[in-house]
Structure 1
Amino acid sequence: MIALASLRERRRSLLGTLITLAVAVAVLTICGLLLVSARPVTPDRYAASPVLIRPVPPSDPEAFTEPRPWPKEQAAALTARLAAVPGVSAAVPVHRFYAQLLRDGAPVTGEHEAYSWSSAVLGGYRLAAGRAPAAAGDVALGEDLGLPPGARVELLTAAGPQPFTVTGTVDGSGIWVGDPVSGTVGGPGSRAGDAVTAVSSARVGSGGAGGGVPVIGLLIGADADPAAVAVAVTGVVGAEGVVLTGDARGALEPVGDARTRWIGLQVLSALAALGTFVSVFIVASTFAFATRQRHRELGLLRLLGAVPRQVRGWVLGEVLLLGLLGGAIGVPAGLLAAGPVAGWLVRTGFEPASFTVLYQPVVPVAALAAGVLVALVGAWSAARRAARVGPLAALREAAVDDRPVSRVRLLAGAVALVGAVAVGVAATRASGADLGSYALYAAMLLVVAGSLLAPLLLPRAVRLLSAPFAGGRGATVLLVRQHVATAARRSASAAAPVLLCVAFTVLIGGMVQTTTAYYGLNRVTAVDAAAVVVPDGTPGLSDAAVAAAGGLSALPTTLYEGAEPLPAAGVTPAEHTVLTVVEGDLATLHRSPMGGSPETTSAAPPAVPVGPAGSGRTPPAGPLVPVAVAQGFAASAGWAVGGRHPVSGPDGQPITLEVVAVLAGGPLPAGILLDRAVVRAMDPSALTSVVYSDRPVPAAVLAGLGGRPLSAAAYAGSGQEEDDRLVWVFTALLIGVSAGFALLAVVNTMLMSTTGRAGDLRVLRLSGATRRQVLGLLAAETAAVVATGAALGLAVAVAALAALARGLSVQLGVAVPMVIPWGTLAATVGVCLVLAVAAATLPALGSRRAASPSAGV
């Protein structure tokens, strides 16, 4: 009852804390609902197949790489066995290759893969008009593309634009070609199928020169039980693949959707974590401030006979009620906002188009409990301090801090500072994926350390900042200094939200700009280019676009060691100029089967003859392919020059890699480099990411090829536009959450501070100070506290950014500049200052007692 009465009495001063908790619970509710909803959805093209079989996926679910496909002969044998399973009416292998419709010379965004017509049945698709594609040059298109049967169209393939005739339209979205066409190398127009080499010969001899089979779909009889069929199929498949039924079929969602979903997961997790941390921090600082203001009230309770345990329970009871009330407001708000937020995430690219909200009752209950827990954790230290208030505190008039920092607080601050230094040192040695996390953890620890040690730092910092004004007229500067020195803890509590706000806004903005500088350096130091050609509306550049652009490029692909992906890329002798050989000879990377010169290999993939019988060398599994490997990859994988390593190609066929050279570290397209023609023979749909040219590239030569030229400077500054856009939206979200909470705390703390100093202000008025002087003093004190908190926040951000820049420099091998977003800093400090001064002066401005010197003391 006492706690409830206290809340009613102090409802105005606790309003900011209540809003903070309500917003935190709303954020947790939204993030929780969206996190449990972030599950893969079965692609429409497989919706009519109750049982799907895929190859064994990589062990790392965040690899975002297609599983190693079945080679065609293995897929044919497995399909035959599956078709014989009782209850199975058809087993359909899926063939696909890169193809994108060109309309008026521009690629049509959306669908960028063509499928074998036989697989249309797996999605339940039917012809709406015309006939099915059968011969080369035939294509069936979804009705949504608006092209009737008989229309002449161009499809952009990995080889380049190819002419097609629309033979039919389908009641669904997609592109379909005849089964014989989808099984050729690279789809239509690929020249790699005519390469008379060991690589292509092995593929022709095994039943086809195209890519492997990534999925086999089953259709079952009307009276068959899908669960029973799945059990039988599992026994047939064995270790060759994974059987998917029901919601598990969502594992076949496109890799791009899986990556988008993962990005959304990171966004939601970061928002929830940051919101929780900021909420705990703000509740802790607010209740610490409130406890300091209520010393006389708490001392009076002790004087009336309350024991420390009762005082602590009273404070925690207030917090518990406040947390429940904040949860009661925040949960409904979060439930109402989840749908619009989900739609916004889809529109901005943080979730795939199939994303929908699933309302699970456990989420709001968990969010409410989390809100209460946040409040209790934040106020625990303040409750312990309240319990230590002695009865004589009721008789004190002064708010002088005899010991601004207790030994426990000093020790905790030192531990947080040491922890921040340790995390910062770890950041300089972390990988790129972990660098940002380490920097954020270091900043969190520094914020905690700065807040705990602020009573020691604040008076000295204020004296330093006010030194230039010490010689001015009036006593304002002296009063500001003395107030901060005598009420160090109260001033530190007021500065804490500013420290938090500046630290996180500058850190998050600086992290993005520093990493952007890193990736820009990573790109431009790779090669001295006058122009760069990048994809325009396509996932990559075709061979025709690469040829039109000229210059240097790499053709990325994926090899497989068992089920695990090995990133690789194909290069030509021209790219040797930007590679540094540590050991071996790059010339042997392009040896021809007949001993021809490297230049002759541009039209056909090479093969290396196996050593003669009795030479002591192990016969390779599949063709023997020479490769060069990066020094870092060689060290981690244990590969060395002369070593042979059996792997699978991107089409699933076995090959044996022979290491002929080790390359120095630095910006390399992949850890394993092969001859480009070998990659094209194995991976008909491989697309080039970027082309570096030593001369300007006219935009006209790339017309209809899905590429656009950029200057080297523009490329270094722009990066990958879609990823950069997502990063900047993510940055705005994080800054919005952290700054929003912190600014709310700034206003709340300053309001509480001014309200709690009504007696001090009356004394000033009775001492002869004018109303304007009182308001000026409040504004000056507030400005000093904001400036000091901003300086500490900037120090926190700079320390974390320095660790980040150092780690990136170590990875790249060149100095990466630390970028401080001065504009963000100025805007943040300005907003903090305006809100803080307004919150500190408006209560005094509206108070008659503050305005009248005749008011009682």
Structure 2
Amino acid sequence: MIALASLRERRRSLLGTLLTLAVAVAVLTICGLLLGSARPVTPDRYAASPVLIRPVPPSNPEAFTEPRPWPQEQVAALTARLAAVPGVAAAVPAHRFYAQLLRDGAPVAGEHEAYNWSSAVLGGYRLAAGRAPAAAGEVALGEDLGLPPGVRVELLTAAGPQPFTVTGTVSGPGIWVGDPAAGAGGGVPVIGLLTGADADIAAVAAAATEVIGADGVVLTGDARGALEPVGDARIRWIGLQVLSALAALGTFVSVFIVASTFAFATRQRHRELGLLRLLGAVPRQVRGWVLGEVLLLGLLGGAIGVPAGLLAAGPVAGWLVRTGFEPASFTVLYQPVVPVAALAAGVLVALAGAWSAARRAARVGPLAALREAAVDDRPVSRVRLLAGAVALAGAVAAGVAATRASGADLGSYALYAAMLLVVAGSLLAPLLLPGAVRLLTAPFAGGRGATVLLVRQHVATAARRSASAAAPVLLCVAFTVLIGGMVQTTTAYYGLNRVTAADATAVVVPDGTPGLSDAAVAAAGGLSALPTTLYDGFEPLPAAGVTPAEHAVLAVLEGDLTALHQPSTAPAAPLSAEIGEQAVAILPTGSDRPTSGGQVIPAAVAQGFATSAGWAVGSRHPLFGPDGRPITLEVVAVLAGGPLPAGILIDRTATRAMDPSALTPVVYSERLVPAAAGLGARPLSAAAYAASGQDEDDRLVWVFTALLIGVSAGFALLAVVNTMLMSTTGRTGDLRVLKLSGATRAQVLGLLAAETAAVVVTGVLLGLAVAVAALAALARGLSVQLGVAVPMVIPWGTLAATVGVCLVLAVAAAMLPALGSRREAGPAASV
């Protein structure tokens, strides 16, 4: 019966270890597949064009700014030359501007850009009914909107609601207007080439590259995905950060948990391996037997985890799209190398975890099999002590680096410090646990009889086993508190700066639209800024248009803001619309700045920008406007640092003239105005705006936080349960001795609960210390970077929930084998 119980205990231990490894491989498979699938996709509206041409993008791909468009006059010349390329049937420019369908006074979700009708052919779209739009006030709509020809509709544009008549429906989504209406202002972002059926696409692309020169980039095949909307590119970048963080955290937790689980499982068989030595096995045979068993278990765990990961990748991808971490075009690309790599990683992690334990097991002397007590004579070897010291030193270095870093590096260094502290705490836990447990149990030493003494003695004599049980608790608490605390610590600063710039008591924000139209801004009153983008060569420069009303919140260091709204000192330079080489020559090419001509626009600049760019009052700087035409900025004022909408401020009227699709993000007002129907605007009090999570970034951050906490805590809790099950399973002999010594069943269970609680609480304290140290470094770094005292925020609610779950699961897992031992081994072994 005892042998049967031992076999059942061994099977239970293997099952828990197998499950841990399978989950790790599944997570690695999912993350690998999704990371490999995170790539741009050719927009449907350009899918029928085998060759697409775009302006030169900014050098920083994470700027998430549209490339400097071509002016319409230049496009006229370029399309004429591209249409003459052999194999090209047509060269079609794509004009676009902001427009959103209004239905029952509310913006319709989905499409919020209108295109010129001639560019519909680039997506292979055809009329399904009616005729194409031609005159002003005519529009063709996608069939999915369900509006037949002849219906009168309203489109919300950057100026405000405009009436249109539906002339036709299109075999695809979108809003289409006549070419003259679409081309009224603004630059051209794309030129698509249509080719003959027998055309050589590579030859056409090469010839188009010669025509376009340094003014653009020719795209074919999958490279056309670079034309995905900027919003989709930004979402895809956010998703990449999410998946990278999940992969990094999942890999670290997987390595930590799987390695410690296998090491603990191997150590639990100390006496069993000693019996093999007693029967004549040499150390090499013992190592080979242990590692061979781990290899088989790793392959079996991978065989379970890989299919689970493959099945879960699709639903997880759908969830990422629904939550906004990936664009709607995101799909899973199943690559065979990913599951193979995940399986190999799982096996290697298992072997690495069991290697040191197998080496120790191979050195077990034959007489060790005769020992009845598992006493850790050397709970920490020299190698382990050295590794722990190195990890601790690395954590200190990462923490110091965090206090001096900026941007994303600050959070990364804080996370590195936490990882290294977790490793150091786990390696040094056998040294720390006995003293920590002694301190924790000191208040109860006088009134609990032998229970406190037995708890202290067991932790001291089985320090490694106790440390293995505390390690997953340490990891669980450290990462849940750290991740939640990082978000709340950074939010504690940024939340203080909302709605304070204009001393506003109310705001007006977009409602179902990407921004506010001029009509919505006029109805709201108050203060606002109209953001746009200027270009220094091909590099974007954020700018904003303001009116004299905003001067009240601007602090002038030098110059005169009234000059900001004076008429331009030079008229716009004439640009020939003639088709040919001369028209193209008027505009600069490549990355050269315009040296003459163009409208002179007064500008005020922030002090920091003026210092870094070398601008001063009175200086002039040739740039390009948001429509691609050359302009010259004349600095008339330098502004003090503070909550400015952009580094460059110009007149709002000049901004609207250059950028017909610019939208206002928010209006600050002194009173709460009623919502105006059909404008896509929503009024909020300042307090409601500051407290709300209306920003999409805020929502994504909190979903991301919950996801990271779920992954780290899920792994750790699984390890807590598995480790406690194995720990109690390996102590059935000790529990049997206690029972034979006169202890009652309730006393033995109480001892298990007390010992488990002491180990869990010690792990919690170590994990909290890790999180607090990393958060302190983060708060210090933010304080230095932002110039204000940023308080360190500890998510006490998250901590309490994590501690409670860890404690309940650990105690339940520790007592389950003891409760089941009576049925398995009979009365002699019952607890």
CA distance in 2, matches of 1:310, 1:814: 63
Greater CA deviation, 715-724 or 555-564? 715-724
* Structure 1: stretches of 5+ with no match in the other structure: 184-208, 592-597
CA distance in 1, matches of 2:428, 2:73: 70
Q: 2:368 corresponds to which residue?
A: 393
Deviation at 1:310, TM superposition (A): 4.4
Going from structure 1 to structure 2, the CA distance change for 1:580 and 1:471 (only over 3 Å counts) comes to: farther
Counterpart contact for 1:648–1:655, Cα < 8 Å: yes
Counterpart contact for 1:283–1:379, Cα < 8 Å: no
Deviation at 1:8, TM superposition (A): 10
Counterpart contact for 2:4–2:825, Cα < 8 Å: no
Going from structure 1 to structure 2, the CA distance change for 1:511 and 1:325 (only over 3 Å counts) comes to: same
Name the SS of the counterpart of 1:820 in structure 2: coil
Counterpart contact for 1:138–1:167, Cα < 8 Å: yes
Deviation at 1:457, TM superposition (A): 2.1
The question of 1:56 aligning with 2:56 is answered yes
Counterpart contact for 1:417–1:446, Cα < 8 Å: yes
Greater CA deviation, 840-849 or 393-402? 393-402
Counterpart contact for 2:88–2:196, Cα < 8 Å: yes
Going from structure 1 to structure 2, the CA distance change for 1:171 and 1:855 (only over 3 Å counts) comes to: closer
Counterpart contact for 2:140–2:168, Cα < 8 Å: yes
Counterpart contact for 2:30–2:310, Cα < 8 Å: yes
Deviations 1:290-321 (A, max 9, x none): 34333333444455555555444433323222
Deviation at 1:588, TM superposition (A): 3.8
Counterpart contact for 2:87–2:199, Cα < 8 Å: yes
Counterpart contact for 2:49–2:194, Cα < 8 Å: yes
Greater CA deviation, 446-455 or 307-316? 307-316
CA distance in 1, matches of 2:542, 2:796: 39
Counterpart contact for 2:571–2:600, Cα < 8 Å: no
Deviations 1:705-756 (A, max 9, x none): 1111222222222244433332232222222211111111111111111111
Q: 1:687 corresponds to which residue?
A: 663
Going from structure 1 to structure 2, the CA distance change for 1:428 and 1:548 (only over 3 Å counts) comes to: farther
Deviations 1:31-50 (A, max 9, x none): 22222222222212112211
Counterpart contact for 1:327–1:371, Cα < 8 Å: yes
Greater CA deviation, 740-749 or 543-552? 543-552
User: Pick from 200, 205, 209: which aligns with 1:230?
Assistant: 205
Deviations 1:642-699 (A, max 9, x none): 4443222111112233344444444332232223222222111111111221222223
The question of 1:409 aligning with 2:378 is answered no
Counterpart contact for 1:765–1:853, Cα < 8 Å: no
Counterpart contact for 2:266–2:354, Cα < 8 Å: no
Counterpart contact for 2:108–2:512, Cα < 8 Å: yes
User: Pick from 340, 347, 365: which aligns with 1:365?
Assistant: 340
Name the SS of the counterpart of 2:498 in structure 1: helix
Deviation at 1:784, TM superposition (A): 0.9
Going from structure 1 to structure 2, the CA distance change for 1:852 and 1:117 (only over 3 Å counts) comes to: closer
Q: 1:622 corresponds to which residue?
A: 598
CA distance in 1, matches of 2:652, 2:615: 21
Greater CA deviation, 803-812 or 496-505? 803-812
Going from structure 1 to structure 2, the CA distance change for 1:661 and 1:609 (only over 3 Å counts) comes to: farther
Deviation at 1:814, TM superposition (A): 3.0
Counterpart contact for 2:215–2:590, Cα < 8 Å: no
CA distance in 1, matches of 2:152, 2:159: 19
Counterpart contact for 1:327–1:368, Cα < 8 Å: yes
Deviations 1:797-838 (A, max 9, x none): 222223333333344433333332222211111111111111
Counterpart contact for 1:523–1:667, Cα < 8 Å: no
Counterpart contact for 1:4–1:321, Cα < 8 Å: no
Going from structure 1 to structure 2, the CA distance change for 1:524 and 1:427 (only over 3 Å counts) comes to: farther
CA distance in 2, matches of 1:2, 1:255: 68
CA distance in 2, matches of 1:542, 1:609: 36
CA distance in 2, matches of 1:441, 1:3: 46
Deviation at 1:141, TM superposition (A): 1.2
CA distance in 1, matches of 2:556, 2:4: 75
Deviations 1:752-803 (A, max 9, x none): 1111111211221122111100000000111111111112112222222233
Deviation at 1:582, TM superposition (A): 4.5
CA distance in 1, matches of 2:240, 2:410: 18
Greater CA deviation, 768-777 or 29-38? 29-38
CA distance in 2, matches of 1:613, 1:343: 43
Counterpart contact for 2:106–2:678, Cα < 8 Å: yes
Deviation at 1:851, TM superposition (A): 9.7
CA distance in 2, matches of 1:162, 1:540: 16
Going from structure 1 to structure 2, the CA distance change for 1:510 and 1:413 (only over 3 Å counts) comes to: same
Deviations 1:135-157 (A, max 9, x none): 22111111111112222211111
Name the SS of the counterpart of 2:344 in structure 1: helix
Name the SS of the counterpart of 1:451 in structure 2: helix
Going from structure 1 to structure 2, the CA distance change for 1:114 and 1:283 (only over 3 Å counts) comes to: same
Counterpart contact for 1:46–1:123, Cα < 8 Å: yes
Q: 1:178 corresponds to which residue?
A: 178
Q: 1:842 corresponds to which residue?
A: 816
Name the SS of the counterpart of 1:846 in structure 2: helix
CA distance in 1, matches of 2:201, 2:571: 50
Deviation at 1:435, TM superposition (A): 3.2
CA distance in 2, matches of 1:225, 1:765: 86
Greater CA deviation, 75-84 or 801-810? 801-810
Going from structure 1 to structure 2, the CA distance change for 1:547 and 1:329 (only over 3 Å counts) comes to: same
Deviation at 1:333, TM superposition (A): 1.5
Greater CA deviation, 827-836 or 626-635? 626-635
Deviation at 1:29, TM superposition (A): 1.8
Counterpart contact for 2:529–2:645, Cα < 8 Å: yes
Greater CA deviation, 498-507 or 227-236? 227-236
Counterpart contact for 2:64–2:234, Cα < 8 Å: yes
User: Pick from 474, 478, 482: which aligns with 2:453?
Assistant: 478
Counterpart contact for 2:568–2:599, Cα < 8 Å: no
User: Pick from 309, 316, 333: which aligns with 2:308?
Assistant: 333
Greater CA deviation, 400-409 or 454-463? 400-409
Name the SS of the counterpart of 2:522 in structure 1: helix
CA distance in 2, matches of 1:589, 1:608: 32
Greater CA deviation, 252-261 or 629-638? 629-638
Q: 2:571 corresponds to which residue?
A: 602
Deviation at 1:58, TM superposition (A): 1.6
Deviation at 1:615, TM superposition (A): 27
Counterpart contact for 1:299–1:391, Cα < 8 Å: yes
Name the SS of the counterpart of 2:737 in structure 1: helix
Deviation at 1:377, TM superposition (A): 3.0
Greater CA deviation, 665-674 or 707-716? 665-674
User: Pick from 753, 758, 775: which aligns with 2:727?
Assistant: 753
Going from structure 1 to structure 2, the CA distance change for 1:635 and 1:439 (only over 3 Å counts) comes to: farther
Instruction: Give me the TM-score of the superposition, normalised by structure 1.
Output: 0.89
Deviation at 1:83, TM superposition (A): 1.0
Following superposition of structure 1 onto structure 2, how do residues 194-273 of structure 1 map, counting pairs within 5 Å?
210-273=185-248
CA distance in 2, matches of 1:36, 1:610: 44
Deviations 1:599-620 (A, max 9, x none): 9999999x99999999999975
Q: 1:187 corresponds to which residue?
A: none
Going from structure 1 to structure 2, the CA distance change for 1:44 and 1:856 (only over 3 Å counts) comes to: closer
CA distance in 2, matches of 1:660, 1:5: 87
Name the SS of the counterpart of 2:544 in structure 1: strand
Deviation at 1:355, TM superposition (A): 2.2
Going from structure 1 to structure 2, the CA distance change for 1:293 and 1:807 (only over 3 Å counts) comes to: same
Counterpart contact for 1:611–1:617, Cα < 8 Å: no
Deviation at 1:545, TM superposition (A): 1.3
Counterpart contact for 1:53–1:217, Cα < 8 Å: yes
CA distance in 2, matches of 1:496, 1:3: 30
CA distance in 1, matches of 2:769, 2:552: 43
Counterpart contact for 2:5–2:824, Cα < 8 Å: no
CA distance in 1, matches of 2:280, 2:588: 99
Q: 2:580 corresponds to which residue?
A: none
Counterpart contact for 2:822–2:830, Cα < 8 Å: no
CA distance in 2, matches of 1:225, 1:616: 33
Name the SS of the counterpart of 2:187 in structure 1: coil
Deviations 1:333-360 (A, max 9, x none): 1222222222222222222222222222
Deviations 1:410-439 (A, max 9, x none): 232222222222222322333333333233
Deviation at 1:635, TM superposition (A): 4.3
Going from structure 1 to structure 2, the CA distance change for 1:8 and 1:75 (only over 3 Å counts) comes to: farther
Name the SS of the counterpart of 1:582 in structure 2: strand
Deviation at 1:100, TM superposition (A): 0.6
Deviations 1:485-544 (A, max 9, x none): 222221111000111111112222222333333332232343322112211100111111
